[in-house]
């Protein structure tokens, strides 16, 4: 019988102490808790540059975030901020001054590939912003002037055109925006005036006009027969791993993120709040074997949809 703990006392006691230090614990949903229910450990220390906060994945004993703040409660960022995936790879990095993003921000996929590069001025994007798919194709390229006017082009993960249009000052859509089906046919033409939508025309994949617009402009992905059916699926498929006994708690959780593709299939499932490898593997296996979902819709075509799922394990199910 393997005994695993929800605590990480050995790890915590190895962290260096400081005279001006604030320690907190957070659960998998980033709600403050005591150590018995913690997924994250946070330590903030007073430095000459401000309060340096470091958040750790307790069960991986690795950094989740490191950033400077102006105050001990760590409400206002003021310096470089680094975020990390559970596997230790960098998730994002950038500078925040008095709570506002300034300069270039980079984010990455968990495997290490670059995800996007965005330049900010007082928390607003300026200049050139670029996003990439895991395939390496560019999926978004935008240029913004300081007043928020600009232009944007989007592509599908395989490089085919997805959308394009302009912004008026204040990052407001203006003029004609075109959206495309994956086969290259127009899916939607939207006409804007300073952010106000004036007219919409929808087309199917053969180019014919669509008159029924219900749920075609924006619709979240949905599990067949509803969220209750998804919960039942998880409960039926999940099991408490044999040979394990949890001390300090009867219920533990991991959190996974996954993408629902344009056809409703699950892809890119990964753990974002870890516990122990055996529990993580069970959670990912169940999610990956999910039946197809009803895909999300945006601008009259199916689109990818990112999901966050908490997976709980009850010791009583052993």
Q: pLDDT tens-digit profile of 5-52?
A: 665 544 554 554 545 899 999 999 999 999 988 999 999 999 999 999
Q: What would the mean pLDDT of 234-255 be, rounded to a whole number?
A: 88
Q: What would the mean pLDDT of 161-188 be, rounded to a whole number?
A: 98
pLDDT band at 58 (very low <50, low <70, confident <90, very high): very high
Higher pLDDT, 129 or 72: 129
pLDDT at 303: 96
Angle ∠(8,11,12) on CA atoms, nearest 5:
85
Could you read off the pLDDT of 84-143 as tens digits, one per residue? Answer: 999 999 999 999 999 999 999 999 999 999 999 999 999 999 999 999 999 899 999 999
- The rounded distance, in Å, linking the Cα atoms of 102 and 71 is 19
pLDDT at 212: 83
Q: What would the mean pLDDT of 169-180 be, rounded to a whole number?
A: 98
pLDDT at 3: 66
pLDDT band at 316 (very low <50, low <70, confident <90, very high): low
Tell me: pLDDT of 235 over 90: yes
pLDDT band at 149 (very low <50, low <70, confident <90, very high): very high
* Distances, alpha carbon 161 to alpha carbons 144, 166, 264, in Å: 20, 16, 21
- The rounded distance, in Å, linking the Cα atoms of 256 and 312 is 11
CB atoms near residue 57 (< 10 Å): 24
Q: Which of 29, 7, 25, 5 is nearest to 309 (CA)?
A: 29
CB 192 within 8 A of CB 172: yes
pLDDT at 1: 63
pLDDT at 314: 86
Q: Which residue has the tokens 């300069």?
A: 103
pLDDT at 318: 42
pLDDT at 33: 93
How does strand 172-180 pair with strand 186-193? Answer: antiparallel
Tell me: pLDDT of 249 over 90: no
If DSSP states are collapsed to H, E and C, what string results for the chain? CEEEECCCHHHHHCCCCCCCEEEEEECCCCCEECHHHCCEEEEEEEECCEEEEEEEECCCCEEEEEEEECCCCCCCEEEEEEEECCCCCEEEEEEEECCEEEEEEEEECCCCCEEEEEEEECCEECEEEEEECCCCCEEEEEEECCCCCEEEEEECCCCCEEEEEEEECCCEEEEEEEEECCCCCEEEEEEEECCEEEEEEEECCCCCEECCCCCCCEECCECCCCHHHHHHHHHHHCCCCCCEEEECCCEEEEEEEEEECCCCCEEEEEEEECCCHHHHHHHHHHHHCCCCCECEEECCEEECEEEEEEEEEEHHHC
| Domains, the chain | 2-125 (no CATH), 227-317 (3.30.1150)
pLDDT at 213: 80
Tell me: pLDDT of 317 over 50: no
Q: State the chain's mean pLDDT as an integer.
A: 92
């Amino acid at each position: 019988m393997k005994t695993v703990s929800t605590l990480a006392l050995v790890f915590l006691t190895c962290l260096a102490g400081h005279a001006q230090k604030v320690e907190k614990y957070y659960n998998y949903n980033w709600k403050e808790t005591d150590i018995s229910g913690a997924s994250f450990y946070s330590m903030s220390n007073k430095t000459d540059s401000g309060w340096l906060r470091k958040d750790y994945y307790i069960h991986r004993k690795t950094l989740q975030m490191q950033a400077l703040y102006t105050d001990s409660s760590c409400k206002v960022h003021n310096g470089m901020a680094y975020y990390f995936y559970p596997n230790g790879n960098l998730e994002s990095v950038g500078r925040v001054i008095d709570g506002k993003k300034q300069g270039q921000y980079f984010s990455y996929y968990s495997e290490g590939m670059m995800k996007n590069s965005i330049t900010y001025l007082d928390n607003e994007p300026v200049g050139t912003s670029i996003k990439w798919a895991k395939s390496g194709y560019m999926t978004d390229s935008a240029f913004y002037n300081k007043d928020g006017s600009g232009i944007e082009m989007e592509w599908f993960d395989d490089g085919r055109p997805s959308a394009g249009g302009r912004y008026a000052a204040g990052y407001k859509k203006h003029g004609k925006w075109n959206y495309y089906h994956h086969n290259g046919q127009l899916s939607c033409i939207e006409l804007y005036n300073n952010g106000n939508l004036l007219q919409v025309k929808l087309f199917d994949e053969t180019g014919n006009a669509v008159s029924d617009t219900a749920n075609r402009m924006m619709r979240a992905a949905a599990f067949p027969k509803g969220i209750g059916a998804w919960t039942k699926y998880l409960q039926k498929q999940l099991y408490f791993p044999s040979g394990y006994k949890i001390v300090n708690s009867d219920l533990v959780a991991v959190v996974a993120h996954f993408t629902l593709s344009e056809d409703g299939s699950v892809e890119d499932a990964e753990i974002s709040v870890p516990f122990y490898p055996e529990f993580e593997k069970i959670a990912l296996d169940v999610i990956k074997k999910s039946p197809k979902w009803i895909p999300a819709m945006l601008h009259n075509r199916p689109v990818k949809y990112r999901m966050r799922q908490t997976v709980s394990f009850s010791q009583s199910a052993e």
